[in-house]
Amino acid sequence: MKAALLLGFLMWQAGTADGPPVARPEHMRYEREISVAAGAGQACAALDAAVFPHAAPALTDVRIFPVGAAAGGAREVPFAVTMSEGVAEETEAAKVLNLGAGAGGTIVFDLEMPSRAYTDVALDLDPAVQDFIATATVSGMNKLGSTAEATRLGVFTLFDLTTQRLSRDTTLPLAESNFRYLHVVLKVTEAAGAKGGEFVPSMVEGAEVPPSREAQTIYTAVAETSEIATAGRESKASFTVPARVPVERISFVLAPGFSGNFSRDVKVSATAEAAGSSDGVGDDAAGDGRAALPEVVTGEILRVHTDEAGQAIRTERLGVPAILGANLQRAAKVEVTVENGDDQPLPIAAVRLEMRQRRICFDTAAAAGAGLALYYGDADLAAPVYDYERLFVAARKPVAAELGVERMNPEYKPEVVTLPFTERHPEVLWVVLICVVSALGVVALKSARNVGVRR
């Protein structure tokens, strides 16, 4: 009986460990004051790259408290973290209708558009058809065939200058529109260097409608350098990115006054440091120290400002999508290489690593009468669960808020975790268990003998 009671006590001790850690600002290493502009309702502040290396993975330890909460024991302020992306819209196909030949050698067709606002419309023209200049006269209408009542949306220049090594652009850059149908009259002529070919209606193979510009992604700079090294046929910029800082696009800034045309391939490589080599909060300590293989992303930057066949061509793309995973949990070396070929190196003034904009949003009522501060740096915390986040709807024009400079939390003190006796001395539990099992075995043996004697 005594042995069973002792065993029960020890098992109860084993189950009395503390629950999940509670968020307290004095146990977080870093803080940043939040300044909020005048106004009521939803306020949002952009999270910059400085937060990620010192916060736990996925920002699970980020909290907002009133200033001075460490002394007063105030409750945390509910918030929601948003990420800039065109979540409400995806690229959709536009159906080509009534495709045929028009007057004067034109190609005429209608596009059935998605039931939403749109801006750019990318025409899918036969890739085998090259070296051309095209003018696209575009009108909008809500009833198919009512061209007499259509609204003129503009005349746009499309081109393929493959022979001149200046790429291809077949996108109609419209002002934001929501017409149900677009009527397009396409006039195609040969560009310089063309080897001859037919421009017939069948070259129009389709069209795609990306998210409207308003729904497109906003980016925040993560790192920037103006140190560009040129060796042989390559221009290269190098970065060291701290652990967990997202990199999702590379953008280029050209020297002021440069007006040359170009089309250059870009290679982005990211190589994470060996596991366990960085020292931020929540580091990956489970690795084996082996060097990671490089992650490589490719793209193209271009600029074409020229007049061809009497038409002005103006197109420019100085950014490359590059979602890198090598540096999610470890610091990484990122190299951005521009392939110059036999051309002169581009006069690159700066190369930027960028991430999609993240914002932390909360209600301004929480800041009434007291300032707010952002706290992080406690890797043991689980992500918070707020009704505010579950019911969150982003305001179209939230109140502006801004994070101050990161600093060490002056109230910081390490959390003291008190473990139960059995966790501090696990060997005692095993000794007692062995003794109890032995005692119960002896009792059982004696009971069996007594039963045999009685018989």
Q: Which residue has the higher pLDDT, 163 or 434?
A: 163
Domains 92-214 and 219-356 share a fold: yes
**Per-residue pLDDT at 453 exceeds 70:** no
* H runs (alpha helix) in 15-141: 51-54, 69-72
pLDDT in tens, 61-102: 999 998 866 555 668 899 999 988 654 457 889 999 999 999
Query: 284 falls in which pLDDT band (50, 70, 90)?
Result: very low
**Per-residue pLDDT at 352 exceeds 50:** yes
**Per-residue pLDDT at 339 exceeds 60:** yes
- The full set of domain ranges for the chain reads 2-15+419-454, 25-84+358-408, 92-214, 219-356
In percent, the amount of the chain with pLDDT more than 70 equals 78
Q: Which helix (H) or strand (E) holds 114?
A: none
Helix (H, G, I), strand (E, B) or coil at 348: strand
> Residue 168 CB: number of other CB atoms within 10 A?
20
Q: Which pair of structure tokens corresponds to residue 127?
A: 């890739």
**Per-residue pLDDT at 278 exceeds 50:** no
* The domain made up of 219-356 is a member of CATH 2.60.120: yes
Its sign, for the CA torsion 144, 148, 153, 155, is: positive
Cβ neighbours of residue 331 closer than 8 Å, sequence gap 6 or more: 240, 241, 242, 243, 272, 273, 277, 278
Q: Cα dist. 202→99, 100, 131 in Å?
A: 8, 8, 17
Predicted local confidence at residue 22, as pLDDT: 81
Q: Which pair of structure tokens corresponds to residue 196?
A: 């001859």
Q: Is 277 exposed, middle or buried (0-12, 13-18, 19+ CB in 10 A)?
A: middle
Q: Which residue has the higher pLDDT, 121 or 119?
A: 121
pLDDT in tens, 145-178: 877 788 999 999 999 988 888 888 999 998 888 8
Query: 222 falls in which pLDDT band (50, 70, 90)?
Result: very high
Average pLDDT, the chain: 83
The whole-angstrom separation of Cα 113 and Cα 118 is 9
**Highest mean pLDDT out of 21-30, 44-53, 203-212, 328-337:** 44-53
Predicted local confidence at residue 365, as pLDDT: 87
Q: What is the mean pLDDT of residues 332-353?
A: 94
Predicted local confidence at residue 111, as pLDDT: 96
Q: Which residue has the higher pLDDT, 304 or 2?
A: 304
CA atoms within 13 A on the CB side of 53: 14
Predicted local confidence at residue 162, as pLDDT: 85
In percent, the amount of the chain with pLDDT more than 90 equals 47
Predicted local confidence at residue 285, as pLDDT: 39
**Per-residue pLDDT at 270 exceeds 80:** yes
Query: 198 falls in which pLDDT band (50, 70, 90)?
Result: confident
Query: 316 falls in which pLDDT band (50, 70, 90)?
Result: confident
**Per-residue pLDDT at 277 exceeds 70:** no
Indicate the CATH number of 92-214 among 1.10.1660, 1.10.3470, 2.40.30, 2.60.120.
Answer: 2.60.120
Query: 283 falls in which pLDDT band (50, 70, 90)?
Result: very low
Predicted local confidence at residue 293, as pLDDT: 67
Q: What is the mean pLDDT of residues 266-273?
A: 92
pLDDT in tens, 170-191: 999 988 888 999 999 999 998 8
Name the CA dihedral angle for 435, 437, 442, 445, rounded to a multiple of 10 degrees: -170
